[in-house]
Every structure is written in C-alpha cells, then in structure tokens.
Amino acid sequence: MHFELILPGLDWPTGPGHHPADDLALPALSKLLGFANVAWTPRSTPETLLAERFGLTDRLPHARFRRLGESTPAPADGHWLCCDPVHLHFSRDTLLLNDAGGLDITREEADALMDGLNKTFADIGHFEAPAPDRWYIRLAAEPQPAFHPLADVNGRPVQLFLPEGEEVPRWARLSNELEVWLFSHPVNAAREERGQRTINGIWLWGNGTASAASPPAWSAIQARQAFARGLACHFSLAPAAADRYLRPDGNGLALVDDLQRPLLHQDRELWRNALQALESNWFAPLLADLKARRLEAVRISVPSDRNSLQLDIASKGLWKFWRKPRPLASALASAPQSAAQTP
C-alpha cells in the first residue's frame, strides 16, 4: 500500500537566522526526511497536483468541483463560476487584491450580500455562499473567458491577471458593476465604521471542462478543502476528515492545508503550532506504519509557487542505518536558489 500526503506550506523559506522549525521537537519528520529521496519539481498548486493524481490535466472546472465539495447540496443543473469576495486596494499606482482570508466575513454579512446580489443581478445567474468566504454564481450557459485562479492573483497586481479569450468585455463590465454595487452596500458601510476592510470586489474564476479519466488508484482520500472533497465525490469516493492520519485499506491520499495560510501570511507562531500538531497526527503514525510494513511507501508532496518539493520514503529502505535524521531546514536548503531564499 502507498500513501501520499499533499502538504502545502511545509516549505517555509530558509535564509539568514533561525528557521521557525529549528527548535521544535520533530523526531518523526526528521527521520522521514533522513530516509527520503528528495526531488524538486516545477511550481504547482495543491489543486493542480491533486487533479493530476486523479488523471485530470486540462483546464479544470474548479468551481464545479469545489461546489460539489461544500456541505450544502449542489443543484445538478447549470454552469458554475467561483465569484469569491476580495478586498481591492491601491499601493502607489498599482491595484492589488487580497482574498477573504483576513476579512472575517460573517454568515450574516454573506447572507445579506447574497440576497442583494440575487435581487439586483437576477438576469446574470444565481449567487450562493455555502461558506461566508466562498461564493459562487450558477449560470445558464458556460462562460467562455479563461479566468485566472484566485490563488495566483492573491497579493499581486490585478492587471497581470485579467481574463483572456472570448466574451471578456462582458465579464469585465459585470466585475465593474459588482464592485460599484458592493461599494455602496450597507454591509460595507458598517464594516468601515468598525474599522474593518471592506468587501469591495469579487474575483470570477473556476470555469473549465474535465477530461475523461480512468478510475483513480486511491481507495481513500482525506481532505478538508471543498475542492478536494468535491473531486473525491466526483470519483465516487467518500472523503474523510483530515485532522489526523487514518490508515487506508488500500492506497491513500490526503491533502492537509494547515500550514498553507500561516505561510502565506508569514505567521511564524501559527505555522510552528500547526507543524508541531502534524508531527503527532501525521508524521509519527506514517513512520510507524512504514516501520511495520503496513505501508510500502509514503510520498510527501509540497506544492509551491516557487519550486515544489517531493519526498519519497520506502519501507524497504528503513534498514539503511547510516542515514541519519535530517532537520527540515536542511532539506529545504537543498532547493534551487530561487526557492531557498525568503520572498
């Protein structure tokens, strides 16, 4: 049996001074790193890597898969776009975008905005917010432009990520109309009074088509992300929780994103706490199953927008006593120069 753990955010960059993991007790992770074959691969995202593991490589219908993975049932008809709430702001003369991670949108705010959007833009489609920070629009026809994923534009100049292809002017006008509508909504007026950042934009993305794929090689998947859970459901797999390792009956796959947001926001303490929890909930039991030959191999994949890290550990290689535990910072320091330095 094989198990793959997709772990975005593990690659906190090395650089001058102490690495955040240096003084943490991580014996299982250090042993896994010591026995691992380390490879650096091209940049990737967790969603792209996960889709590849299911044999999907075309432009994915991310919105449809993510909506399928939400806790509320998705209507069977229509075409889906993610229209996620964002905060737009200028830095000098450049318009930047930040996702909803720091907006703390409440359920009440999301419901009020959904109600207003559906009344004002009923001719466009139906807006939904299964989660306060994950919004969708269900459309009668498939949108034609190629939209950029929100993860690509987050924290970056919007001008570099404008949609391409057919019908771009129509969707550009809609985005502008939505921004104007949001600007004048009472929800944002109240947020301004409280000193909160406003929800002053929506990022449209996630259309596409899924290519035909053979049944996946995985018998079990663990994930918290809605996209991952929806992808599992698409292949008739029942996704399990991702708070700790669960030994599968066959090959297993897990996407654990506990480190992703702390890395994105450079929150050292939150990242350290999450990594310490991963040691007991994931690394230690995975190492134990490798030693007991309940697993033949473990792969830890770390997708990144710099270079991605791939760690392969085989149970038959654990007898190589001369291979010593390796600190995380040491493994990360082997990255190509562009990936090893602090951004």
Q: pLDDT value at position 341? A: 40
Render each residue's pLDDT in the chain as its tens digit; 343 residues. 899 999 999 999 888 888 999 999 999 999 999 999 999 988 888 888 888 888 887 678 899 999 999 988 888 788 999 999 999 999 888 999 999 988 999 999 999 999 999 999 999 999 999 999 999 999 988 888 999 989 888 888 999 999 998 889 999 999 999 999 999 999 999 999 999 999 999 999 999 876 656 667 888 899 999 999 998 988 888 899 999 999 998 899 999 999 998 998 889 999 999 999 999 999 999 999 999 999 999 999 999 888 899 999 998 888 887 888 889 888 888 877 644 443 3
Q: pLDDT value at position 339? A: 42
Q: How far apart are the first and last CA of the chain?
A: 38
Distance CA 304, CA 301 (A): 10
DSSP state of 124: T
**Three-state SS across 271-333?**
HHHHHHHHHHHHHHHHHHHHHCCCCCEEEEEECCCCCEEEEEEEHHHCCCCCCCCCCHHHHHC
Q: Can you read off the two tokens belonging to residue 56? A: 């999907």
Q: Reduced to 3 states, what is the DSSP secondary structure of residue 134?
A: strand
Q: pLDDT value at position 244? A: 95
Q: pLDDT value at position 56? A: 82
Closest CA to 170 of 138, 200, 204, 201: 204
Residue type, 251: N
Q: pLDDT value at position 209? A: 76
Task: Map tokens 């199953």 to a residue.
Answer: 289
Domain boundaries, the chain: 2-58+221-340, 62-205
DSSP assignment of 26-70: -HHHHHHHHHPEEEEE----HHHHHHHHTT--SS--HHHHHHHTS
